[in-house]
């Protein structure tokens, strides 16, 4: 199975343990893109809504396309009663949007699964002139706040983490201007998370290469992670940086 499809196997865990983005990021994105009741917005791969509520709450005409059937079901159970919510179960790469055009197309750590030569031209074509492409992700590290724990966790990884498929993303967000986008910029929002051993294990189990681990090594690996954090006082500190990339389709010029 393609790694981009494995998240569909864990919709409930994904919904509970994947971090959401900070309010300041959404405030900046909404202001930059002019999102409100008169805007038509497309979210690529919403998962279970980690970046959905603040956009849907603007009253915009919200559309989303999600590859995973179980993730779609979770999204519909959460938002299906909202009049401005529209979801398509399909692959962005191959889906025909017809004449639909949007004021904003955005992605929360999803567009990176799409080859650049598809992602950038297709989003560009889907945007109205002057429309916004917004791309966000979370960059996390726990070494600086937990050096000894970091070393203990690395030992667990070295001994027991052997997925059959390696994670290898080649998508470069900063290449957007190469495909016609203008005004490209990057904004960062530092935050901190503190997790217990159980929370850390369940969060780790939502990573693509961790989902595909096979037994018996899977249980040994996660037991090792849990023990490492328990031995460190049942506490691990993550220093997160929420990253927002913004760019515009020119108001005039290329269609």
Domain assignments of the chain as residue spans, ordered by start:
3-140+169-192+240-248
Q: What is the pLDDT of residue 46?
A: 97
- The whole-number pLDDT of residue 27 equals 98
Residues paired with 244 in a beta bridge? 136, 187
**Among 207, 231, 227, 206, CA closest to 159:** 227
Domain 3-140+169-192+240-248 fold: Rossmann fold (3.40.50)
Q: What are phi and psi of 74, to 5 degrees?
A: -65, -45
**Torsion from C-alpha of 42, 43, 49, 54, nearest 10 degrees:** -60
pLDDT 10s per residue in the chain (255 long)?
588 888 989 999 999 999 899 999 999 999 999 999 999 999 999 999 999 999 999 999 999 999 999 999 999 999 999 999 999 999 999 999 999 999 999 999 999 999 999 999 999 999 999 999 999 999 999 999 999 999 999 999 999 999 987 777 789 999 999 999 999 999 999 999 999 999 999 999 999 999 999 999 999 999 999 999 999 999 999 999 999 999 999 997 554
Does this model's pTM top 0.75? My answer is yes
């Amino acid at each position: 199975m393609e790694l981009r499809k494995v998240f569909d196997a864990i919709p409930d865990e994904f919904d509970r343990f994947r971090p959401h983005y900070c309010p300041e990021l959404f405030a900046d994105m909404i202001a930059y893109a002019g999102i409100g009741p008169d805007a038509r917005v497309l979210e690529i791969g919403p998962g279970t809504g980690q970046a959905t509520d603040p956009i849907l709450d603007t009253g915009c005409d919200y559309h989303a396309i999600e590859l995973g059937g179980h993730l779609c079901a979770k999204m519909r159970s959460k938002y299906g009663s909202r009049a401005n919510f529209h979801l398509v179960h399909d692959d962005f790469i191959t889906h025909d949007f017809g004449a639909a055009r949007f004021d904003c197309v955005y992605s929360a750590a999803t567009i990176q699964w799409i080859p650049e030569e598809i992602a950038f031209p297709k989003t560009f074509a889907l945007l109205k002139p002057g429309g916004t492409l917004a791309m966000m992700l979370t960059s996390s590290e726990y070494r600086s706040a937990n050096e000894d724990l970091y070393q203990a966790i690395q030992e667990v990884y070295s001994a027991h983490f052997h997925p059959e498929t390696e994670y290898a993303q080649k998508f470069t967000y900063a290449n957007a201007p190469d495909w016609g986008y203008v005004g490209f910029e990057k904004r960062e929002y530092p935050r901190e998370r503190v997790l217990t051993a159980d929370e850390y294990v369940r969060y780790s189990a939502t990573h693509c290469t961790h989902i595909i681990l096979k037994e018996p090594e899977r249980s040994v690996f996660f037991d090792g992670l849990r023990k490492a954090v328990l031995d460190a006082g049942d506490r691990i500190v993550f220093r997160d940086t929420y990253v927002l990339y913004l760019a515009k389709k020119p108001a005039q010029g290329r269609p």
